[in-house]
Amino acid sequence: MKHIIIGTAGHIDHGKTTLIKTLTGRETDTLKEEQNRGISINLGFTYFDLPSGRRAGIIDVPGHEKFVKNMLAGISSIDVVLLVIAADEGIMPQTREHFEILQLLNIKKGIVVLTKADLVDSDWIEMIKEDIKEEFKGTFLQNAPIHAVSSKTKAGFEELVRDIDKITEETEPKDTEGHFRLPVDRAFSISGFGTVVTGTIISGRVNVGDSIEIYPSKVVTKVRGIRIHGVASEFGEAGQRCAINLANVKLSEVQRGDILARENTMDPSYTIDCNLYYLKTMEKPLENRQRVRLYHGTEEILCRVVILDKEEVKPGENAYIQLRLEKPITAQRNDRYVIRSYSPMFTIAGGSIIEPVAKKAKRFDAAYLEELKIKESGKSESILENTVKNLSGEYPNKDLILKTLGKNMENIEENLQSLVEERKIVKLQALDNALYIHNQYLKDKTSELEALLEEFHKKNPLKFGMSKEEIKTKIFGKNIKQKIYDEVLNILVERKKINLSEKFVAAYDFKIKFTKEQEKMKEDIIKEFKESSFNPPKYIDMAAKQKDKVGFKMVYEALLDQNMLVRLNEECTLLKEDYEKAKELIKNYIIENKSIAAGSARELLDTNRKYAVAILEHLDSIKFTKRIENDRVLF
């Protein structure tokens, strides 16, 4: 079922609260001070059963200029506005400011209600109607119905109710499939129940028993109970006003302006990027770093405006801005906001949030502004691609991407797969959750790696390559998980960018080339090892006989890198073919005799005890054999 929220707006004492009472039979001014003074101070809430059977939530807002902050807290979540104008006074200052706020919040549906029609004659009402049509020409109220009513005589209410029912049918359905979000407009405690908050669910759905989070404090709680218009319910969804009983939360831990949402779906931020429209009625330009008041959802936050694409914003102009806040905001992309001047307070601008978790930006940065335009365009694939690009260094999964997007996105997995097929992003599947990186990120890392390997190969022409661990630290960072790192390296092998060995990485086209002198050293080393078999020569003794000790060391290490020599420990190195022969002899001996002792190995290999033990301990370390007391068996 489609859920609708109707809100009032208009100048003080134009009959908003009386209108709601006449429509619903319920009083929304519940504070004693409101009833004594005859004016609305805080938000009022009730509901209205329409002839079609739909039940609409009603938010009654205060009209006094001193309480615009409260008005903004209520009006931000409405679908349809009843703009109330007293027939005997016509359009007044707060009528205009409230209407400017409605436009800045992108409210699209409304009805103009001329109250107190019993105080004037029909000619006067017709004149007021003409004024209204002229005032709202070119706006969302241009063709809105205008109903003259009297709460005293009940005249005009039947026609008004019929049009309210009709216009609520025309409103767009809310996003019930996205993230659950509820901006808190009231928080109080009820004896025996604990902390209760109220608000309008602006997206998604919440069920009794759900685990949710209070932002920006990030207090985690559970939904103990839900009431909608005073009736207990198992769930609430977008477009419904509801009261939620929170488990194990102190009243001091939640307040108006907070956001309730699913756990770990949002990030509070001190910086947001926005588009801004500066009202044409302003007398002075908006200056860079001007201190203002931001209104978002039910929250008011002091902040400074950093103008990104202009020196200043003139009345009637649009601009890209960054708001730097004095306390964190919890928002999503495309959320609407309003700005009022710091002092004296009046509405000056508004727009939509482009990036809800922004980094401090430099003014007039062409690349940054271009990125904002992409995000503002609303093209989901472009925004998604850009988000993956910015997150690539974190190797994000779907949930982190969705959280960082700052908006609900249906079919995100299908959209990610489309970008994979278009070769714009790369899907990594080494872990349980698929991860995504931008192809440009991989290209940039490849360029860094190629430059690093080129320098390494120049300095170390006889080494196969750099240590995998060293590359991991220098190029990809210490925090990348090993499985992800291995998958990235394998992708680079497939793309013919690198070659891999067990422990080393080399440039794809790199080949070890020995000089004539080095080739002779290599042959001499191999010959000496072949002649020694299982009684191998020591490096220190071989090097002592060389004139070019540096060159000899390079050749010797190259043979180790190429696995032509196998180092068992610091004192024992075998020729690869002798190492494999020793493994085979020991395996066959164990198969025939069930186990082998160090003495038997010494005799079998015709070597001394030190080398026999070195060979056996190495085979233990690679889990070829296993030591049981003084003997070895096959692992």
**Do 286 and 307 meet the contact criterion of CB atoms below 8 Å apart?**
yes
- What is residue 173's predicted lDDT score, i.e. its pLDDT? 78
- What is residue 222's predicted lDDT score, i.e. its pLDDT? 96
532-568: pLDDT as tens digits: 999 999 988 898 888 888 888 888 888 888 888 999 9
- What is residue 477's predicted lDDT score, i.e. its pLDDT? 84
Q: How far apart are CA 351 and CA 224, in angstroms?
A: 36
Q: How far apart are CA 99 and CA 94, in angstroms?
A: 8
- What is residue 66's predicted lDDT score, i.e. its pLDDT? 58
Q: Is the full-model pTM beyond 0.75? A: no
Q: How far apart are CA 594 and CA 586, in angstroms?
A: 11
**Do 277 and 351 meet the contact criterion of CB atoms below 8 Å apart?**
yes
- What is residue 511's predicted lDDT score, i.e. its pLDDT? 86
Cis peptide before 216 (omega within 30 of 0): yes
Write the DSSP symbol of residue 308.
S
Residues linked to residue 222 through DSSP beta bridges, in sequence order: 211
Burial of 417 per CB tally in 10 Å (0-12, 13-18, 19+): middle
Which amino acid type is present at position 570?
Answer: E
Q: What share of the chain is helix, strand, coil (3-state, %, to 5)?
A: 35, 30, 35
The end-to-end CA distance of the chain, in Å, is 66
Q: Which CATH class is domain 516-634?
A: mainly alpha
Q: Which helix (H) or strand (E) holds 527?
A: helix 516-532
- What is residue 129's predicted lDDT score, i.e. its pLDDT? 95
Helices and strands, counts by H and E, the chain = 19, 33
**Do 514 and 461 meet the contact criterion of CB atoms below 8 Å apart?**
no
- What is residue 63's predicted lDDT score, i.e. its pLDDT? 46
Q: How far apart are CA 322 and CA 349, in angstroms?
A: 14
- What is residue 229's predicted lDDT score, i.e. its pLDDT? 86
- Any idea which residue has 């000056």 for tokens? 348
Q: How far apart are CA 517 and CA 523, in angstroms?
A: 10
Which amino acid type is present at position 628?
Answer: I
- Any idea which residue has 């003495």 for tokens? 599
SS3 string, 105-165, reads CCCCEEEEEEECHHHCCHHHHHHHHHHHHHHCCCCCCCCCCEEECCCCCCCCHHHHHHHHH
Give the C-alpha distances (Å, rounded to integers) separating 388 from 265, 398, 425, 476, 532.
Answer: 16, 10, 8, 17, 58
260-318: pLDDT as tens digits: 999 888 889 999 999 999 999 999 999 999 999 999 988 999 999 999 999 999 999 99
Tell me the two tokens of residue 371. Answer: 């990125």
- What is residue 41's predicted lDDT score, i.e. its pLDDT? 41
- For the chain, domain boundaries: 4-170, 181-262, 269-370, 379-513, 516-634
The CA dihedral of 499, 505, 507, 508, to the nearest 10 degrees, is 0
Structural fold of domain 4-170: Rossmann fold (3.40.50)
Classified as helix, coil or strand, 398 is helix
Complete DSSP assignment for 15-62: SHHHHHHHHHS-----SHHHHHHTS--S-EEEEEE-TTS-EEEEEE--
Residues 6+ apart with CB under 8 A from 86: 11, 13, 14, 15, 114, 115, 116
Residues linked to residue 114 through DSSP beta bridges, in sequence order: 85, 148
Angle subtended by helix axes 380-391 and 412-421, to nearest 10: 80
Q: How far apart are CA 73 and CA 44, in angstroms?
A: 11
Render the burial of 197-209: b for 16+ CB within 10 Å, e for the rest: bbbbbbbbbbebe
Q: How far apart are CA 525 and CA 556, in angstroms?
A: 8
CB atoms near residue 513 (< 10 Å): 9
Q: Which residues does the chain have with pLDDT short of 50?
A: 29-42, 63-64, 67
- What is residue 68's predicted lDDT score, i.e. its pLDDT? 67
The CATH homologous superfamily to which domain 181-262 belongs is Translation factors (2.40.30.10)
Topology alike, domains 4-170 and 269-370: no
Classified as helix, coil or strand, 617 is helix
**Do 65 and 84 meet the contact criterion of CB atoms below 8 Å apart?**
no
Q: How far apart are CA 184 and CA 73, in angstroms?
A: 9
Residues 6+ apart with CB under 8 A from 22: 149, 151, 154, 157
**Do 376 and 275 meet the contact criterion of CB atoms below 8 Å apart?**
yes
- 338-341 long-range contacts (CB < 8 A, ≥24 apart) are 338/72, 338/101, 338/104, 338/105, 338/294, 338/295, 338/296, 339/276, 339/292, 339/293, 339/294, 339/295, 339/305, 340/68, 340/292, 340/293, 340/295, 341/292, 341/293
Structural fold of domain 379-513: Arc Repressor Mutant, subunit A (1.10.10)
**Do 204 and 175 meet the contact criterion of CB atoms below 8 Å apart?**
yes
Q: How far apart are CA 598 and CA 586, in angstroms?
A: 11
Q: How far apart are CA 456 and CA 505, in angstroms?
A: 11
**Strand 231-233 and strand 286-287: pairing?**
unpaired
Residues 6+ apart with CB under 8 A from 163: 111, 145, 147
Tell me the two tokens of residue 243. Answer: 């009261």
The CA dihedral of 585, 586, 587, 588, to the nearest 10 degrees, is 50
Write the DSSP symbol of residue 299.
E
- What is residue 204's predicted lDDT score, i.e. its pLDDT? 87
**Do 47 and 41 meet the contact criterion of CB atoms below 8 Å apart?**
no
**Do 596 and 602 meet the contact criterion of CB atoms below 8 Å apart?**
no
**Do 203 and 409 meet the contact criterion of CB atoms below 8 Å apart?**
no
Structural fold of domain 269-370: Elongation Factor Tu (Ef-tu); domain 3 (2.40.30)
- What is residue 39's predicted lDDT score, i.e. its pLDDT? 40
